[in-house]
């Protein structure tokens, strides 16, 4: 009986050893799978981190390009504004005066309307600059027509070098030079 008990003990010990070996083998296999999953998860998170880092770099580059584009657009806008102002100044310099003076003699002139619309002179800006007003106001001068005026210089007061006229519908006085007066 002692041999049977020893034999049973030996068989049970062998079964336990085989069970332990199988358990150890399965645990080892499960540990390897867990390590492999962890490694794959780590690789995936590293790929995601690199992708996010790449997106951040691309975003910074895009922001820098956008900032440069805005700066360039502002420079072009300022340049266009300066060009428009220059064109307006050039156009104003070449635009003929709407009212001009043509001298007939030392004391007689005509104020001519060279525009295509009637112009109504309502007053002189500084009537005290004249010994006597050169013509009666208000007066309407039709397109390509003129009115006659007198340029009087008496008692040491010279006729002004310009007529500053208040024109109906104009926001500011109109200056008409009285240059080229005959001697």
> Cα-atom radius of gyration of the chain, to the nearest Å?
51
- Residue 6 is predicted with a pLDDT of 84
- Residue 105 is predicted with a pLDDT of 93
- Residue 11 is predicted with a pLDDT of 86
- Residue 78 is predicted with a pLDDT of 92
CATH code given to domain 97-177: 2.60.40
Composition of the chain by helix, strand, coil, percent to 5? 50, 20, 25
- Residue 1 is predicted with a pLDDT of 61
Domain boundaries, the chain: 1-95, 97-177
In angstroms, the CA 114 to CA 124 distance is: 19
160, HSE (Cβ side, Cα atoms, 13 Å): 19
Locate 37 and state its tokens.
């999953």
Bond before 153 cis per omega within 30 degrees = no
- Residue 95 is predicted with a pLDDT of 66
101 phi and psi angles, rounded to 5 deg: -110, 135
Q: What is the pLDDT along the chain (183 residues), one digit of tens a residue?
A: 668 888 888 888 888 888 888 888 888 888 888 888 988 988 988 999 898 899 999 999 999 999 999 999 999 999 999 998 888 878 766 766 789 999 999 999 999 999 999 999 999 999 888 888 999 999 999 999 999 999 988 777 888 999 999 999 989 999 999 988 887
DSSP β-bridge partners for residue 166: 123
- Residue 23 is predicted with a pLDDT of 87
DSSP β-bridge partners for residue 102: 110
Cα separation values, 161 from 90, 122, 181, Å? 25, 20, 9
Cα separation values, 124 from 55, 129, 140, 165, 175, Å? 72, 9, 14, 5, 10
- Residue 166 is predicted with a pLDDT of 94
């Amino acid at each position: 009986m002692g041999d049977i008990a020893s034999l049973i003990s030996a068989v049970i010990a062998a079964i336990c050893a085989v069970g332990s070996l199988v358990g150890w083998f399965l645990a080892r296999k499960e540990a390897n799978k867990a390590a492999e999953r962890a490694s794959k998860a780590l690789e995936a998170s590293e790929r995601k981190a690199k992708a996010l880092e790449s997106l951040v770099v691309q975003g910074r580059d895009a922001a820098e390009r956008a900032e440069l584009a805005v700066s360039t657009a502002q420079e072009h806008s300022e340049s266009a504004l300066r060009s428009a102002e220059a064109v307006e100044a050039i156009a104003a310099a070449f635009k003929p005066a709407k009212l001009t003076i043509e001298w007939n003699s030392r004391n007689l002139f005509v104020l001519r309307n060279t525009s295509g619309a009637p112009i109504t002179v309502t007053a002189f800006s500084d009537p005290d600059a004249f010994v006597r007003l050169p013509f009666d106001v208000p007066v309407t001068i039709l397109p390509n027509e003129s009115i006659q005026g007198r340029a009087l210089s008496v008692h040491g007061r010279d006729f002004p070098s310009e007529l500053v006229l208040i024109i109906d519908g104009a926001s500011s006085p109109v200056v008409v030079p009285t240059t080229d007066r005959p001697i």
